[in-house]
Amino acid sequence: MARQKSATGGQKVRRVAFYVRVSTERQAQVQEGSLKNQQQMLQAELERRNTGEAWGRLVDTYIDGGFSGKSMDRPEFKRLLADVERGAVDAIFFTELSRLSVPSETF
């Protein structure tokens, strides 16, 4: 799938995915906690990039609440990778590398 053209016909609009994660179920249960804060930060960044001309549009948010970054056995992370592989996502936003991190033996 090719990126969509912007309304101005110039730069292509990227299909953006947000990936948010916390390591424990306890953290995931906090209504106004890290998951929500991460999403708000990512939304603010997307809005900043869209100032002036359309840079990207959010296509999905992938939330792994209660999953360690030490393992790739995270349902939403797997779904995100599948969506990237099938061409549905052009860019992934995350708040810090530790949210997305994968075990070094993966590489």
Note the pLDDT tens digit of each residue in 53-104: 999 999 999 999 988 888 889 999 999 999 999 999 999 999 988 777 765 5
Query: What pLDDT shows up at residue 107?
Result: 47
Distances (CA, A) of 69 to 23, 33, 97, 102, 105: 7, 18, 10, 6, 13
- How many Å from the N-terminal Cα to the C-terminal Cα in the chain? 26
C-alpha–C-alpha distance, residues 86 and 79, integer Å: 11
In degrees, rounded to 5, the angle at the alpha carbon of residue 75 between the alpha carbons of residues 72 and 78 is 60
Mean pLDDT for the stretch of residues 8-17: 81
Mean pLDDT of 10-31: 87
**What mean pLDDT value characterizes the chain?**
86
CB 87 within 8 A of CB 44: no
* For residues 22-40, average pLDDT: 87
In this prediction, residue 6 carries a pLDDT of 46
Instruction: Give the DSSP H or E segment for 63.
Output: strand 56-65
Query: Contacts for 102-107 with beta carbons within 8 Å, 24 or more apart?
Result: 102/69, 102/72, 103/70, 103/71, 103/72, 106/72
pLDDT of residue 11: 66
Q: What is the CATH number of domain 12-99?
A: 3.40.50.1390
| Residues facing residue 13 across a β-bridge | 4
